[in-house]
Amino acid sequence: MKNFLSIIAIVAIISFNNLEVFSTNPDTLSMNPGYASDIFYSMSQGEVLNTPRSGWEMAFYTSAFSAGIIINDGSGVELYAYPNGDTSAWASMDTTGLSSWSPLYNSPTDWEDGAFNRLAQGHPDYGWGVYNMITHNIVGDSLYVIKTEDGSFKKLWIVDKMSADNIYNIRFADLDGANQVDQSIDVKPFISKNFIYYSITNDELLDREPSESWDILFTKYIDLTPTSSGELVEYLVTGVTSNVGLHANKFTGVGPNYDDWISKPFDSLKNTIGYDWKSFDMQAFSWVVDDSIAFFIRNGNDDVYKLVFTYWQGSSTGVFAMNKSIVSSSSIQDDVITMNNLTIYPNPSVGYVNIKVANNDNFNGQVVLTDISGRMVYESEINGNHQINTSGFNTGMYFITVSNSQLKETSRLIVK
């Protein structure tokens, strides 16, 4: 049996030595004042699309086999699950005490785990609705209140998803029931994109993702940030999220010539690059970028790029700069397969976490859970889907590694 790390190391050396182009390309971009724009960016092509973040409140994951629905939390949209009844309470919703309800935000680690899915209990419960074993549709069983971009509040019901037709039916109205709208969202024309976006305010669809391929997105989003006591809280940040299926890793405290990207596994989390490579210096009253942090990104062509941020001006202009270089043009051999669809949910975990290898219910291997110091806290064989009881774990960040003789993938897990 071949040693997994040895194979990867040999491939990396061969790829690097055969690489004809090895250049550092400074790139200066702008999210515009107030970080008002999203930038879809390709490691090979540069900026693909610079588009306003505003204009929509919710978006639907386009796969016919998905129930993922996100909100525009980067533009102040908030979602609240109605705590006082199921969908039968639509006409009589009582929002007294709304200010004390806890908002729901998109997962910072998984695109498909949107705000509407955060209370999911696992199949067949997807948060906003339950899968019907007979019709294969998802039927809405929850009501919500959504704060729109303009600050107004609407009550909202995801009535169902007609899976075979890839159509969502939704209903929303003012809190007093006035101005009710029943709308069908046909996702089929947009399946080449991750999401189709919808404006509740204007009752219209927006196709705002580029047709060209992209790797990372510069945006504002809600992430878990540590307080002075170490507690993780949800907070609006400006940073980088990765495209679905993109793999990246992060190295801290490294020099400008560091290129040992193979010494740490890639993961496919949405926020591997994230936001905390920069900080605000209150004494100097300016932004500071930690250029000893290096990211390595493997794109859809299996090219590996190194990314180092060098400048961040702030919200007055939204201008920033970074250096990138290609360090490998062929990081994968036929006998080494990396799983692109390791699903971990719920994440953050409260009591349990499910592990699923997409399209591989018969996967046989090992699952290892380590804390941030590298100490192993859990180890088990995995045969298909797997569940870990996390109720006895300390709160904080962990790493889940699933592997066998041919496959290996590591993802982060937050335990609350």
Q: Write the CATH number for 369.
A: 2.60.40.3080
Specify the number of domains making up the chain: 3
385 domain-assigned: yes
Judged by average pLDDT, the poorest of 97-106, 162-171, 178-187, 398-407 is 398-407
334 domain-assigned: no
264 domain-assigned: no
pLDDT digits (tens, 9 = 90+) for 214-265: 999 999 999 999 888 888 999 999 999 999 989 999 999 999 999 888 888 8
The pLDDT score that the predictor gives to residue 22 is: 38
Buried b (16+ CB within 10 A) or exposed e, 224-257: bbeeeeeebebeebbbbbbbbebbbbbbeeeeee
pLDDT digits (tens, 9 = 90+) for 341-383: 577 878 778 888 888 776 666 678 899 998 866 788 999 998 8
The pLDDT score that the predictor gives to residue 333 is: 38
Assess whether 190 and 242 both reside in one domain: no
Q: Which two tokens stand for residue 102?
A: 């806890």
Residue with tokens 């210096």: 281
Assess whether 90 and 197 both reside in one domain: yes
pLDDT tier at 9 (50, 70, 90 boundaries)? very low
pTM of the model: 0.76
Assess whether 196 and 159 both reside in one domain: yes
Is the predicted pLDDT of residue 124 greater than 50, yes or no?
Answer: yes
Is the predicted pLDDT of residue 173 greater than 80, yes or no?
Answer: yes
Assess whether 171 and 237 both reside in one domain: no
Q: Is the peptide bond before 52 cis (omega within 30 degrees of 0)?
A: no
The pLDDT score that the predictor gives to residue 373 is: 66
Assess whether 200 and 122 both reside in one domain: yes
Assess whether 74 and 162 both reside in one domain: yes
Assess whether 357 and 322 both reside in one domain: no
Judged by average pLDDT, the poorest of 288-302, 311-325, 390-404 is 390-404
220 domain-assigned: no
The pLDDT score that the predictor gives to residue 352 is: 86
CA nearest 219: which of 303, 125, 106?
A: 106
Is the predicted pLDDT of residue 332 greater than 50, yes or no?
Answer: no
Assess whether 64 and 174 both reside in one domain: yes
183 CB burial (10 A radius; 0-12, 13-18, 19+): middle
CB 157 within 8 A of CB 143: yes
Assess whether 67 and 23 both reside in one domain: no
Assess whether 190 and 295 both reside in one domain: no
Structural domain for 18, as ranges: 4-41+230-258+276-328
The pLDDT score that the predictor gives to residue 93 is: 97
State the Cα–Cα distance between residues 9 and 264, nearest whole angstrom. Answer: 11
Q: Which two tokens stand for residue 283?
A: 């004494």
Assess whether 124 and 24 both reside in one domain: no
Assess whether 349 and 409 both reside in one domain: yes
